[in-house]
Homo-oligomer: A and B are copies of this chain.
């Protein structure tokens, strides 16, 4: 089946893209992450709830606050990446629903009045947005290094002490450095992952 995207775009986003273990020193500024956000914010979430939040760690001081909470194997690359972004879910996302989804006025004080409902739906939709964000970084010509190896409770306490957000992923971003790639692991075939009824 032919794709609507050309091969160069498919290569950039998927086929040649790869999680790097090193980065060059080329800086990545807030402007780059802003451009990626302004692109991926357009992709869909349930009720347009848009619960993803980004904490950009640009300063060395901010990076130092994160490092002790990263797994040992993730510390060196997180210390040296040109940009590190904490992706989190806003557990109070319902407050913005009257603006984001005015078509159903009762959502804020109805379906999403309960914290457990916000945790479930917000967590899922922010994670969808995290997927968009990783591909958005690639669309901007940046290599994305997503990590789940960290002490989530420690990060939440350090950066979201009021409990209003919960960390999902920490993502390094930059240009891949020398010897950046391990060989790609195998993937499941369509037959292993899918069934047609």
A interface residues (Cβ-Cβ under 8 A, vs B): 1, 3-6, 9-10, 12-15, 17, 19, 30-35, 37-44, 46, 48, 50, 52-59, 61-62, 65, 96, 99-101, 121, 123-124, 127-132, 134-136, 138-141, 144, 146, 148-149, 168, 184-188, 190, 192-197
**Chain B residues near A9 (CB-CB < 8 A):** 5-6, 9, 139
Contact B194 A1 (CB under 8 A): no
Quick check: B188 and A96 within 8 Å, CB to CB?
A: yes
Known A-B contacts A100-B188, A135-B135, A148-B46; A41 and B193 likewise in contact (beta carbons under 8 Å): yes
Please state if B121 and A127 are interface contacts (CB–CB under 8 Å): no
A21 to chain B, nearest CB (A): 12
Instruction: Give the complex CA separation of A79 and B121 in angstroms.
Output: 25
- In contact, A3 and B139 (Cβ under 8 angstroms): yes
A55 to B195, CA, bound (A): 5
Given A5-B12, A48-B185, A135-B135, also A194-B42 (CB < 8 A):
no
**Interface hub of A40, A43, A144 (most chain B Cβ within 10 A):** A43
Residues of chain B within 8 A of A54, CB atoms compared: 193-195
A184 to B100, CA, bound (A): 10
Contact between A140 and B42 (Cβ–Cβ < 8 Å)? no
Q: Are B17 and A194 interface neighbours, CB within 8 A?
A: no
Smallest beta-carbon distance A27→chain B, Å: 12
By a CB distance below 8 angstroms, the chain B residues around A96 are 188, 192
Contact A32 B148 (CB under 8 A): no
Report whether A53 and B197 are in contact in the complex, using a CB–CB cutoff of 8 Å.
no
Return 17 A-B CB contacts under 8 Å, by A number.
A1-B35, A1-B140, A3-B35, A3-B39, A3-B139, A4-B139, A5-B13, A30-B196, A37-B190, A43-B134, A44-B144, A54-B193, A56-B194, A62-B197, A65-B197, A124-B148, A124-B168
